[in-house]
Structure 1
């Protein structure tokens, strides 16, 4: 048999295939970036839905495993989504209703302040130091009619209208994102085990078995972070709620709920109980204010520095310092989503370091 000599076309075939693969990779990358740019406004909603679904996945599997619920993914997804919606809407609704009920008293107090000023609390004169300076400043700025003060004039100006418009637009944007988050969460939960199986298959194909295992550990880190934030937040809210009731802070139950929500974010609970302590000071309850401050800071210190890092670190096998850096650094970089992204990235860092040391 006479062999045909290789043609120049055959010799250039491997180069052409490599060029086509490179061009395909560039095209796919550009298309993915274009798609992400188009939906960039909804990425936070999708990210929140992913975080919530990862946290709920073990419970979802347990519920779906019940004999009388097998195959009813739509019913399960609807129930889970409705529960998440109620957990967010009910506290916000209660807060708005309580604020509306207090609006009349607040308006009357504001009008009284405009006409008569704010009287200086009696405890100021009993302070161990600085009482004279505080009293002088108070008499010069607050204990007379505030109608002509620059601050009160500013409250009736164009700045208030602008702030109100911006707040309304921001609130509407949050409501829309929350709606899209619920829709995305429903779709994820309705997909059931098919979605994580497809994701793991894609991760193995793209990054190998090690990459798929790393994705699993990141999901565990997110789940552990959600557990740590919720458990610690509810614990702080319960303990401080008891303190509010004992000391005599009004609306102790509602304030405990607000404290629990704030405590789910690192170091945000002091904003609530410090406000309550300030109210006690204005009411001349110095001992109650000091007791609430001391008790609150002790609870927050123990919860934020010991309980929360232990809960998150045990699930992710991360050291205390990496958990703390992940939570705080993630929140600073990515906002609220960073609370979950940070520990997940610290998990990646820990896995890479462990693999490097073992080589």
Structure 2
């Protein structure tokens, strides 16, 4: 009878070593895949944010009797709606800017030949009138054709900045296009995608991981509501104020204010410049009224409405909401506005699990 050779003492360790090697291989492959698609991560992340924000709407539409099972049609309609919501306002703004380009060109030629006359409101300033008047007469009141400022407009630095801006704009358009494609695929996959994602998370991280992912999605959805809805509200209110004070291009100014208001503490820049324009035209009361009204609107929106919308959906305190938005924007740019509160949600969940 042939005897079996004794087993090696290290035989039980082979499965553990294989699992460790497999884990290292999986991590390396994932990192390699992320490196390959690194230029499209921003588009994928933006598509994920938009999809999370519109997911309740997608579920309602798919649950209707008339559109049940028509996933491709639903995906096309929602993707086109997102594209129009972004493209249409910018298209209107660009068309108005082009409409005003002729007048701006004529004004530019005039100041080249004659200079810029000093506004009357400078004489009514409480202090610094003599210094400002002297500087204005020396630099702007004279014909600007041969001034250093006009020569600087044709310098290589300005040309370089123009090319850099064009490259950034082209990159933004590319990211937007790939975002729309990714968003269409996500909408078309629909519940199958969310079900597969939740199943994978439960297998890998258990029910706690699945609940954490759901809370992060809720945080992103609440942040979108807090930023977009409050920004649109501020734009509408300030549009009314622009109309009352007699500013031109009220619709365009309201749209710019709404976009700026979606970013924390950026709306004062827009209505502040509008107030300065009113002041330069001699409408002191209108400028003061616009500045005061805008300050009240921004104060209420930033300190009460927006934290309530975001904090109630994520169960985050006001300070963490503020730190998440500002810190996320500083770290990840515009995308960080939505990622920051989600990461703060993870922090709160981990702290809750630790202290309980």
TM-score (norm 2): 0.97
Mean alpha-carbon deviation: is it higher for 136-145 or for 303-312?
Answer: 136-145
CA shift digits 1:65-117 (9 cap, x unpaired): 00111110000000000000000000110011001000011111111112222
Name 1:192's counterpart in structure 2.
190
Name 2:278's counterpart in structure 1.
280
Aligned mate of 2:79, from 78, 81, 86: 81
Aligned mate of 1:90, from 88, 91, 99: 88
Are 1:15 and 2:13 matched, yes or no?
A: yes
Name 1:257's counterpart in structure 2.
255
Name 2:151's counterpart in structure 1.
153
Mean alpha-carbon deviation: is it higher for 31-40 or for 158-167?
Answer: 158-167
The CA deviation at 1:128 is: 1.6
Name 1:166's counterpart in structure 2.
164
CA shift digits 1:283-305 (9 cap, x unpaired): 22222122211211221111111
TM-score (norm 1): 0.96
With over 3 angstroms needed to count, the CA separation of the structure-2 counterparts of 1:3 and 1:351, relative to structure 1, is farther
List, as ranges, runs of 4+ consecutive aligned residues in structure 1 with deviation greater than 6 Å.
Answer: 2-6
CA shift digits 1:194-217 (9 cap, x unpaired): 111111111111111111100000
Name 2:353's counterpart in structure 1.
355
Aligned mate of 1:333, from 331, 334, 339: 331
SS at 2:100 equivalent: helix
With over 3 angstroms needed to count, the CA separation of the structure-2 counterparts of 1:5 and 1:110, relative to structure 1, is same
Distance in 1 of aligned mates of 2:239 and 2:3:
89
Distance in 1 of aligned mates of 2:273 and 2:321:
29
Aligned mate of 1:300, from 298, 301, 320: 298
Aligned mate of 1:108, from 89, 106, 109: 106
Report if aligned partners of 1:278, 1:289 keep a CA contact under 8 Å in 2. yes
Distance in 2 of aligned mates of 1:96 and 1:325:
34
Structure 1 runs not aligned, ≥5 long: none
Mean alpha-carbon deviation: is it higher for 204-213 or for 181-190?
Answer: 204-213
The CA deviation at 1:162 is: 2.0
Distance in 2 of aligned mates of 1:135 and 1:215:
61
Name 2:224's counterpart in structure 1.
226
Distance in 2 of aligned mates of 1:164 and 1:130:
35
SS at 1:129 equivalent: coil
Name 1:140's counterpart in structure 2.
138
SS at 1:68 equivalent: coil
Name 1:63's counterpart in structure 2.
61
The CA deviation at 1:166 is: 1.7
Aligned 1:125-136 pairs, distance under 5 A: 125-136=123-134
Mean alpha-carbon deviation: is it higher for 313-322 or for 259-268?
Answer: 259-268
The CA deviation at 1:5 is: 6.9
Mean alpha-carbon deviation: is it higher for 328-337 or for 149-158?
Answer: 149-158
The CA deviation at 1:159 is: 2.6
Matched residue pairs, number? Answer: 356
Distance in 2 of aligned mates of 1:276 and 1:115:
27
Name 1:182's counterpart in structure 2.
180
Distance in 2 of aligned mates of 1:329 and 1:84:
27
Mean alpha-carbon deviation: is it higher for 124-133 or for 220-229?
Answer: 124-133
CA shift digits 1:118-161 (9 cap, x unpaired): 11111111112222222222222211112222111011232332
Distance in 2 of aligned mates of 1:95 and 1:127:
34
Please tell me the root mean square deviation across aligned C-alpha atoms, in Å: 1.5
Aligned mate of 1:246, from 239, 244, 247: 244
Distance in 2 of aligned mates of 1:49 and 1:158:
38
Structure 2 runs not aligned, ≥5 long: none
Distance in 2 of aligned mates of 1:290 and 1:4:
101
Mean alpha-carbon deviation: is it higher for 321-330 or for 273-282?
Answer: 273-282
